[in-house]
Amino acid sequence: MSDADSPHDPGVPNDEIPDDEFEPVDVFPESELDLRSGADDCYKCSTCDTNCPVAEVDDEFPGPKFQGPEQWRLKRKDDADIDPSIMDCSNCMRCDDACPSDVPLSQMHNEARAEYVEEGMSKLSVEYWRNRILANYRKGAWLGSKFPRLTNTLANNGPLRKLGEKLFGLTAEREFPAFATQTFREWWAERGGAQVQSEDKRVAYFHGCYANYNTPEVAKAMVRTFEHFGYEIVVPEQGCSGTPMFANGMLDDARRDAETNISSFSELIDEGYDVICSCTSCSMALRQEYPELFTIEGTADVAAHTYEALEYLRIHEDLRGALGDAEIDGDGEDLAYHAPCHARNQGLDRQAVELFRDLDGVGVEDVGDSCSGISGTYGWKAEKYEKSMAIGEEMFEEMEEAEGQTGMTECPTCAMQMEHGSGYEIRHPLEVLEAALVEG
């Protein structure tokens, strides 16, 4: 129990405290989110700092311990401004997993970043608008996907990309991900929605933005695999999970989409549906960031009913047995698997390796526990590009050494980075699962 939870100094029994005694819990004015227990729980072991991928390549970055508990204390005492270095945090959230004392580091970072953007960043600056547009990727993708061929051509026009870097701070080094000619939702509508009906096996699919606009094959793999196991699927109205918004300190934008998502999915949960994500950052947002940052009704319910796709099947189906009996036509190729940082806090970082080792015809080689370095929108910013590639270097080297020439990961932006750094084609575990169980 932390001091914040206890009414009095824990060293003194209740009956020994006079009524007019000062109460430590009242020192700070009440706010919606009291993070004091987080700051108090930090015993400054610095394990988070040695896990931080940004600090690893940038000696000047003060690290998660400063960004979280230390900055919080400074602020409470002198109302110090949030240090601009908070914008160098990539929101990979590895510090959460590293902390032996349960300090909600990423929550503290998200709060600090939002405050910095609100109070320290000019709303007229190019950086603010660049970040705002990156954070609201979904809006641009919606428009782009209306004219996918045209958008794809324009987005990867060399001179235009250079101009984008100069005027807007978007790196010209990366190729924009292609928009699919048919979005997942268009495909879903065209096939007439769910093909399987069930009273007791029901899931609501949170496909997120990327699987809808850019990689509908991942979303289709989810649908076919879950239907193979007899699940009735619904694809409700939904917004962005909020991941890029948290990472850019745009909490108001994130709250707007979270309200849509929570209202849409909590209704379904009441009808017996569980929520399935195919992107580990989306599931992370629904499960951890929503409850940490918002007090919208139904948040806890959605968090407790949200799962990553493979995780859900592992819990509810004999996936190990099914894969043990299956075979895949992969010529025994090894897939170079990278576990996204956001999969870690959900305990999913070893799941794909464990699962597919029972599958004949394909091998999985873990390319190490480093961060890919792109962290969503982070690696798209011109001033962060070099840092992003330096962080990814370890993964690139491991991929280079891996036997196969195909990569695998759950996270769409990790996949971009893997492809960018290695030239490999990258698959999603759901696609492998579909190939093994549905097509086979």
Partner 1 sequence: MAIEQEVLVIGGGLAGITAAVSAARAGADVRLVSYKQPTLRHASGLIDVLGYTPDGEGPLVDPFAALSDLPEGHPYERVGEDAVRSGLALFDDFADDTYEGNHTERNALVPTQGGRVKPTARYPASAAAGLASDERDALLVGFERLVEFDAPLSADRLNAAGAPFRARGATVEFPVELSADPKVTRFAHLLDRDEGGEESQDGSIRRALAQRVATHLDGETRVGFPAVLGDDHPEAVRADLESHLGVDVFEVPMGPPSLPGLRLEERLYDALDREGVRIETGNPVVGYEAGADGDWVAAVTVDRNGATVPYAAEQFVLATGGLVGKGIDSDRAGVEEPIFDCHVAHPPDRYDWFDDDAFGDHRFARFGVDPDRELRPRGARGAVEFDNLRAAGAVLGNYDFAAEKSGSGVSLATGTLAGRLAGETT
* Site for partner 1, residues 261 to 290, rule: CB under 8 A: 287-288
**By CB under 8 A, residue 46 contacts partner 1:** yes
Calpha distance 158→371 (Å, rounded): 29
Place of tokens 């193979």: 228
Residue closer to partner 1 (CB basis): 261 or 306: 306
- Binding of residue 6 to partner 1 (CB under 8 A): yes
172 binds partner 1 (CB under 8 A): no
Interface with partner 1 (CB under 8 A), residue total 45
- d(CA 45, CA 100) in angstroms, rounded, equals 9
Closest approach, Cβ 397 to partner 1, in A, equals 12
- Site for partner 1 contains 305 (CB under 8 A): yes
Q: How many residues are there in the chain? A: 440
- End-to-end CA gap in the chain: 53
Cβ proximity of 338 and 395 under 8 Å:
yes
* Choices 96-104, 182-190, 398-406, 413-421 (CB under 8 A): range interacting with partner 1: 96-104
| Residue 45 interacts with partner 1 (CB under 8 A): yes or no | yes
Which residues does 180 contact at the CB level (< 8 Å), separation at least 6? Answer: 145, 148, 213, 214, 215, 216
| Residue 235 or 310 with smaller CB distance to partner 1 | 310
Q: Is 365 in the site for partner 1 (CB under 8 A)?
A: no
Whole-angstrom distance, CA of residue 346 vs CA of residue 59: 29
Q: Which of 344, 387, 420, 427 binds partner 1 (CB under 8 A)?
A: 344
CA distance 62 to 341: 20
* Separation between Cα atoms, residue 413 and residue 408, nearest integer Å: 12
* Minimal distance, residue 196 CB to partner 1, in Å: 20
Whether the Cβ atoms of residue 219 and residue 211 lie closer than 8 Å to each other:
yes
Can residue 318 be called a binding residue for partner 1 (CB under 8 A)? yes
Binder among 35, 55, 112, 222 for partner 1 (CB under 8 A): 55
* Single residue of 82, 87, 89, 98 touching partner 1 by CB under 8 A: 98
The three-state secondary structure class of 360 is strand
Q: How far is CA 265 from CA 229, 297, 429, in A?
A: 22, 12, 24
99 binds partner 1 (CB under 8 A): yes
Instruction: Kindly tell me which residue out of 73, 132, 224, 314 binds partner 1, with binding defined by CB under 8 A.
Output: 314
- The distance of closest approach from Cβ of residue 192 to partner 1 in the complex, given in angstroms and rounded to an integer, is 31
**Does residue 386 interact with partner 1 by CB under 8 A?**
no
The token pair that represents 401 in the structure block: 């050494």
Q: Residue numbers of the site for partner 1 (CB under 8 A)?
A: 1, 6, 10, 13, 45-47, 49-51, 55-56, 59-60, 63, 97-100, 287-288, 291, 300, 303-307, 311, 314-320, 344-351, 354
